[in-house]
Amino acid sequence: MNNGPDTDTVGRPPSERRPTDWKAAAVQRRTRRRYAAERRFRLIGLAAVWLSAGFLALLLASMLTQGIGGFRQTRIALPIDLAREHLPVTGDQVRGRGADLALAGAGLENAVDHAATAAYGAEAPDWLSDGAWLVVRDAVKRDPSLLRRPATIDVPVTSAIDIAARRDGPAAAEAVVARLQARGVLSVGWNLGFLTSSDSTDPTRVGIWGALKGSLLTMMVTLLLAFPVGVFAALYLEEYAPRNRWTDIIEVSINNLAAVPSIIFGLLGLAVFLNTMHLPRSAPIVGGLTLALMTMPVIVIAGRNAIKAVPPSIRDAALAVGASPVQVVFDHVLPLALPGILTGTIIGMARALGETAPLLMIGMRAFIAAPPSRLADPATVLPVQIFLWSDQVDRGFVEKTSAAIIVLLVFLLAMNGLAIYLRNRFETRW
Amino acid sequence: MSALGLLFTVAGLALIGWLVARMRAATFRRPRVARFSALPAHHGWFVGICTLAPPLIFLAVWSATAPALVTDAVLATPAAAMLPPPGFERASILSEARELGAGRSQGAFHDLAEKLAPAYARAQHRYDTIATAAALLLAFAGGALAFTRVRPDFAARTQVERGVMLMLLVASLIAILTTVGIVASLIYESVRFFRLVPAGEFLFGTHWSPQVVDSRDPGASLGALPLFWGTFFIGAVIAMAVAVPLGLMSAIYLTQYARPVTRRWMKPTLEMLAGVPTVVYGYFAALTVAPAVRELGVAIGIRWASSESALAAGLVMGIMIIPFVSSMADDSIAAVPAAMRDGSLAMGATTSETIRKVMLPAALPGVVGGILLAVSRAIGETMIVVMAASGVATLTLNPFASTTTVTKQIVDLLTGEAEFTSAKTLAAFALGLTLFAVTLALNVVALVVVKRYRESYE
């Protein structure tokens, strides 16, 4: 192969070599080809970056466009005259604690159905959400005079009509919506109940508060266990541990634990916490314990890096003025390493907050309609709630799932933002 | 007293001990003793630790032994004579009675459980009272004994520091304990499984249908080979076909070509892909990608393209892995000595020639190690396949067909309401053990490869 004009002269004395002819057609062609390859390679790299970023954009955009709808709700203006219904409650009974029970017992639900029939025809009660009468109940609690005078209250409609009103629904629902819209009684508003209520079988009534509270309780347990243990282990390994086989075993097992698939931690939690220690199923305490075992190695690794970054001169100076090894570490090294440790902890906690698989293993996938109030109460967490809703057949849950994902992503973004802020604000360069 | 109340009481006692000892030690500041060996706070910590540690250790040991003691007490009651012999039924009656007794459930399936529940509640109450009294006694005794030692010449600092060191050591031993716990629980349950199903049938059997396990020959429908293939196909073939080119080329572009501003913005953006929870990817895969993949399959003439195809799950898993591959590649390219790059450029090679022919071969061990770690992460990934892959185990090479994975089957097997002794549920632990062993091996090999490579340049 002819690689160029000077290959046949290599090895000869300089006087016999010919200079390279850069203008020769073969050289020019080869250079052009090489530059084209260079441009192609660069373009492929750029395409890879944009493609990856494009996937992220597609993911976020699809969640956002679908999820925003989950925070919206279609309502119908319902003219209701409770005075005509002769509810057996007095104005005094709807004030204070027994109000919910008194109104439910008085047949408010039937009264709402009557009002719907009177206003929009016989099939109208089927258009209302199961939670419609609760809206009326709350309105009465706010303003007991509603018991004596006619009024118009906006109440939520069923999932099918809700979807038909805001996008495209089944034909029957579309027809109903067309009729109602002609009368101008439908309105779309923000659904604050999504943030304050818990799981339900009716997609118009579901909310994420129960799951959010479960997540908060679980994260609390995780933080209280994983943070001290992780920091102490990091301090020991970095500052005191003698170089011997035991230390090596500890190090290897921590590094290995950080790479173990999360579902294995779920199996551990199932076998140890549930089947051996008989802790309650699907409770935040068990979820927190399991996630703590998973988060601890992350904190140890981040902590060790932060501690390593503290220069030895700090330790030498403290030792020189008479501090004991424990005082050196707790009074000088730890405060300086703390921002780095906190950054790592927040990132580990963010991972734990988004974790689903191990919690499925310990039974956190039950239908829980009441938010947990204690650590041993049955609970669910936000990612598991998302998983459960994604399995629902009812189309109304699609929006709710994406809306819950938005809430989860907002939390994760806030945590990661805090980590970045901490790193930038307190990071010291020695 | 509830467990939390007891903990707070003990902690309160420790705080009181700390304050009192500190105040007392503060009065030592007289010239009577030439030199203190401890600050007042050290005396405080000494008393505080002595108050707190004994009841905590006691409670830790107690919480491990108390359930057995309670069960023994219940078994001694006359009603327990009616219990069936040891086995699944007995265990389930006892656990129902326990839940009833603790007030965690309302009704029971077995009548006997209702009869045993009061006995459980009584025994639990009795042992709780004993534990509370013992814990408080230990706290008082520990605190009082420690307080008598608070003297000017007492080296409280040495004692406290010894305690601190012990605490740090125990904290780092928890990591070993977790590893041992994982290995022990997986092996224990797997051994029970392999007693029912021979290991050979499980590992090399090609028929997997846990819905119809024949109790006489459970191995016939618990052959996990299709699962291993599905896991490998989705995690190591399809996902890597997406993640390796994209991750590697992104890393190359961002480190070698991009302007600093682009790099500063694009690198965290790509890392966001790793921060998205897997359940979100799973939802994305099931809702958006899977139907699109099915349409594509139909469009290119595969009529039976599945809506739970291996391709959809693998594709999304690959996207999730991109930042992982990219940061590993980034690290190993950055570790190539600048002299090699500069030398190649000085010889007249273009940037792409330098990257392809000099830097990538030099960085290859690191890149390969990174890919192995990425594979280990992909095959352990659960939620994407749980939500987007199918439950039908098939040995197929077609990416549009449905395939299942080990992690998906673990979830499916353990979230049913099956009893905990059947071959079906135990199979989940055998699968877990296999998964653990494989990911461990991949991680170790990857670390060895990376380490050997790093040594050659330092």
Q: How far apart are CA B113 and CA B99, in angstroms?
A: 9
Q: Is the pLDDT of residue A16 over 80?
A: no
**Shortest alpha-carbon distance between residue B295 and chain A (Å):** 18
Q: How far apart are CA B264 and CA B431, in angstroms?
A: 42
**Residue ranges making up the domain that contains B419:** 218-457
What is the domain count for chain B? 2
Average pLDDT estimate for B277-292: 92
Classify B288 as helix, strand or coil. Answer: helix
pLDDT tens across A345-386, in order?
A: 999 999 999 999 999 988 887 788 888 887 878 889 999 999
**Shortest alpha-carbon distance between residue A111 and chain B (Å):** 33
- From residue A56, alpha-carbon distances to A176, A406, B113, B288 in Å are 39, 14, 53, 13
Domain C-terminal end among B154, B182, B206: B154
- From residue A412, alpha-carbon distances to A137, A357, A407, B246, B276 in Å are 36, 18, 9, 25, 8
Are the Cβ atoms of B182 and A297 closer than 8 angstroms? no
Do both B270 and B356 map to the same domain? yes
Q: According to the model, what pLDDT value does residue A298 have? A: 93
Mutate to test the interface with A, among B168, B328, B434, B439 (most CBs of A within 10 A): B168
Asked whether residue B207 is assigned to any structural domain, the reply reads no
pLDDT tens across B223-235, in order?
A: 888 999 999 999 9
**Shortest alpha-carbon distance between residue A174 and chain B (Å):** 24
Domains of chain A: 72-196 (no CATH), 209-426 (1.10.3720.10)
Are the Cβ atoms of B282 and A268 closer than 8 angstroms? no
Q: Please give the residue of chain B at the shortest CA–CA distance from A376.
A: B104
Asked whether residue B333 is assigned to any structural domain, the reply reads yes
Which one of A45, A56, A263 has the shortest CB-CB distance to B257? A45
- Spatial contact of A382 and A208, defined as CB atoms under 8 Å apart: yes
Domain C-terminal end among B154, B180, B197: B154
Q: How are strands ordered across the β-sheet holding A72-81?
A: A150-156, A72-81, A186-190
**Shortest alpha-carbon distance between residue B171 and chain A (Å):** 5
Do both B391 and B281 map to the same domain? yes
Do both B395 and B306 map to the same domain? yes
Are the Cβ atoms of A354 and B276 closer than 8 angstroms? yes
Q: According to the model, what pLDDT value does residue B1 have? A: 52
Q: Is the pLDDT of residue B417 over 70?
A: no
Are the Cβ atoms of A326 and B161 closer than 8 angstroms? yes
- From residue A227, alpha-carbon distances to A323, B82, B373 in Å are 26, 48, 26
**CATH code for position B301:** 1.10.3720.10
Do both B318 and B421 map to the same domain? yes
Are the Cβ atoms of A264 and B186 closer than 8 angstroms? yes
Q: Is the pLDDT of residue A417 over 80?
A: yes
Which one of A236, A257, A267 has the shortest CB-CB distance to B432? A267
Average pLDDT estimate for B1-13: 80
Classify B165 as helix, strand or coil. Answer: helix
Residue A122 confidence class, pLDDT cut points 50, 70, 90: confident
Which one of B160, B172, B420 has the shortest CB-CB distance to A237? B172
Are the Cβ atoms of B382 and A296 closer than 8 angstroms? no
Are the Cβ atoms of A390 and B440 closer than 8 angstroms? no
Q: According to the model, what pLDDT value does residue A174 have? A: 81
Q: According to the model, what pLDDT value does residue A2 have? A: 45
Asked whether residue B243 is assigned to any structural domain, the reply reads yes
Average pLDDT estimate for B323-340: 89
Q: According to the model, what pLDDT value does residue A299 have? A: 94
Classify B102 as helix, strand or coil. Answer: coil
Q: DSSP letter at B309?
A: B
Q: According to the model, what pLDDT value does residue A3 have? A: 47
Do both B365 and B446 map to the same domain? yes
Q: According to the model, what pLDDT value does residue B211 have? A: 77
pLDDT tens across B128-161, in order?
A: 888 889 988 988 888 888 888 887 778 888 888 8
**Better pLDDT: B110 or A310:** A310
Asked whether residue B203 is assigned to any structural domain, the reply reads no
Which one of A58, A236, A275 has the shortest CB-CB distance to B172? A236
Do both B100 and B235 map to the same domain? no
Asked whether residue B319 is assigned to any structural domain, the reply reads yes
Q: According to the model, what pLDDT value does residue A1 have? A: 41
CB < 8 Å to A51, chain B: 246
Which one of B181, B352, B415 has the shortest CB-CB distance to A41? B352
Q: Please give the residue of chain B at the shortest CA–CA distance from A264.
A: B432
Average pLDDT estimate for B338-360: 93
Bridge partners of residue A79, in order along the sequence: A152
**Shortest alpha-carbon distance between residue B280 and chain A (Å):** 7
Do both B60 and B142 map to the same domain? yes
**Shortest alpha-carbon distance between residue A95 and chain B (Å):** 32
- Does ipTM exceed 0.90? no
Which one of A233, A324, A357 has the shortest CB-CB distance to B171? A233
The set of residues, in sequence order, having a beta carbon less than 8 Å from that of A261 and lying 6+ positions away, is B377, B379, B380, B381, B382, B407, B435, B436, B439
Residue A53's nearest CA partner among B323, B19, B452 is: B323
**Better pLDDT: A128 or A104:** A128
Asked whether residue B166 is assigned to any structural domain, the reply reads no
